[in-house]
Amino acid sequence: MIRLYKNEIKALSIFLLPLFIFVILFIFIPVIFVFINSLFRDVTFLGKKFVFLENYIFLAKDYAFWESLKFTLLFITISVPLEIILGLLFAVILNEKIPYRGFIRVCILLPWAIPAVVSARLWELIYSYNYGLANFILLKLGLIEKPVNWLETGVSAFISLVIADIWKTTPFVAIILLAGLQTIPKEIYHQALVDRANFLQRFFKVTLPLLKPVIIVAFLFRTIDAIRIFDLIYVLTKGGPGGATTSLSIYAYEYYLSGDFGYASAISVFLFLVSLAISILYLKLSRFKEETL
């Protein structure tokens, strides 16, 4: 229906071609390959054999896989809401007229901007049994009697990961929520002030309801990110102790490492489909509409 002329088609294809080449070559083809590969038994030195859904059937019966799914979901349900709450607090602070805002913004951005493995290393030292900051402070405050081996027991390792993840990703949530806060018209606040609402009332009756759509977007964005968590765990616990902190990405990685490409692919496909479902939900809810083009 829309008629494009020859020179336009030429220009259009030149503008789009590099984009397509890169995206297809290093994102779509690999994804398709993983799909295909997940239908094979593909173990190093043992050769390749088409087994159709066997990997998936095995997956369904794999106790360790379910454990790692359980861990990943638990990790998301605990860390993401905490990040949202803390991020909201940061955003409210950044939105106020306080001095040195530029400096405060830099402080809040820094944890997000550095490599995840670097932040993991910082926290590894903090959690260290013999000479770490965490044990030092808690002992001095008298909250614990003897040093805790943070990364060596299931529960404490889980808590340690959550805290480190919150530190790393809260800034991102804060920025997104700040943008949302700034779209709330000032007049609404003035009205609330006229109605003599105090700070907390203003927050719960005005800010929060108006911010809901942005919070949902931030929530989904973080969920997509958290579901593939790898770097932090790889450095801090390597999935231990005893597999208690094996996320789906770590689990797949272990199979890649062991040379079982077929099964690792099946895990990857599962992870991919879950991510895709959430990202479709995300794109539906985020305010990106065709009219804005």
Partner 1 sequence: MKVKLENISKTYFSLRGKVKALSEINLEIRDREFLVILGPSGCGKTTLLNLIAGIEKPSSGEIYFGEKLVFSDKKNVFVSPKERNIAMVFQNYALYPHMSVFENIAFPLRIQKMDKNIIKKEVEKVAEMLNIKGLLQARPYELSGGEKQRVAIARALVRKPNLFLLDEPLSNLDAQLRLTARTELKTLQKNLKITTIYVTHDQIEAMSLGERIVVMNKGKIEQIGTPEEVYHKPENLFVAKFIGTTPINFFVVEVKSEQSNIYGYLGELKIEVPEEKLHLVKDQKIGIGIRPEDIKTEVEKEDFILTVKVNIIESLGKEYLLHTTYKNYDIKILTKNKFPEKSLIKAGFSKKNLYFFSPE
Partner 2 sequence: MREEKLTKVLLIIATLLAIFFCLFPFLYMLVISFSKSWDIFSLVKLEFTFKNYTEILKDPGFHCMDYIKNSLIISGISAFISVFVATMGAYAISRFQFPFRFSILLFILASSMFPQISIVGFLFKVMVKLNLINTYPALILPYISWNIPISLWIMTSYLSSIPKDLDKSALLDGCSWFQIFIKIILPVAKPGIISAGLLSFLFSFNEFLFALLLTVDYRARTVPVGIVMFQGLHGELPWGSIMAFTTLSLIPVFLIVIFFQKYIIHGVIRSGLKG
- List residues binding partner 1 (CB under 8 A): 1-3, 5, 7, 290-291
22 is an interface residue for partner 2 by CB under 8 A: yes
- 182 burial level (CB within 10 Å; 0-12, 13-18, 19+): exposed
Containing 145, the helix (H) or strand (E) segment is none
62 conformational bin, left if phi > 0, alpha if psi -120 to 50, beta if neither: beta
Instruction: State which residue, 145 or 290, has the beta carbon closest to partner 1.
Output: 290
Instruction: State which residue, 179 or 283, has the beta carbon closest to partner 1.
Output: 283
> Which of partner 1, partner 2, none does residue 40 bind (CB under 5 to 8 Å by kind)?
none
215 is an interface residue for partner 2 by CB under 8 A: no
Q: Which amino acid is at 14?
A: I
Rounded distance between C-alpha atoms, residue 174 and residue 107, angstroms: 12
Question: What track of x and - describes contact with partner 2 for positions 115 through 154 (by CB under 8 A)?
Answer: xxxxx-xxx-xx-x-xxxx--x------------------
CB of 241 to partner 2, least distance (A): 18
Instruction: State which residue, 154 or 228, has the beta carbon closest to partner 2.
Output: 228
Rounded distance between C-alpha atoms, residue 145 and residue 135, angstroms: 10
> Which of partner 2, partner 1, none does residue 5 bind (CB under 5 to 8 Å by kind)?
partner 1
Nearest partner of 223 among 101, 81, 88, 87, judged by Cα: 81
CB of 145 to partner 2, least distance (A): 15
285 is an interface residue for partner 2 by CB under 8 A: no
Instruction: State which residue, 6 or 146, has the beta carbon closest to partner 1.
Output: 6
Q: Apex CA 223: angle with CA 221 and CA 226, to 5°?
A: 115
Count of beta carbons in the 10 Å neighbourhood of residue 46: 11
Rounded distance between C-alpha atoms, residue 91 and residue 178, angstroms: 5
> Which of partner 2, partner 1, none does residue 144 bind (CB under 5 to 8 Å by kind)?
none
Instruction: State which residue, 57 or 280, has the beta carbon closest to partner 2.
Output: 280
> Which of partner 2, partner 1, none does residue 188 bind (CB under 5 to 8 Å by kind)?
none
CB of 214 to partner 1, least distance (A): 25
Alpha-helix residue ranges (DSSP H) falling in 183-260: 186-194, 199-202, 208-227, 231-236, 248-257
Q: What is the DSSP string of 124-157?
A: HHHT-TTT-HHHHHHHHTTS-SS---GGGSHHHH
**In this chain, which of 5, 6, 15, 185 binds partner 2, going by CB under 8 A?**
15
Positions in 88-107 near partner 2 (CB under 8 A): 89-90, 93, 96, 98, 102, 104-107
Rounded distance between C-alpha atoms, residue 282 and residue 221, angstroms: 7
261 is an interface residue for partner 2 by CB under 8 A: yes
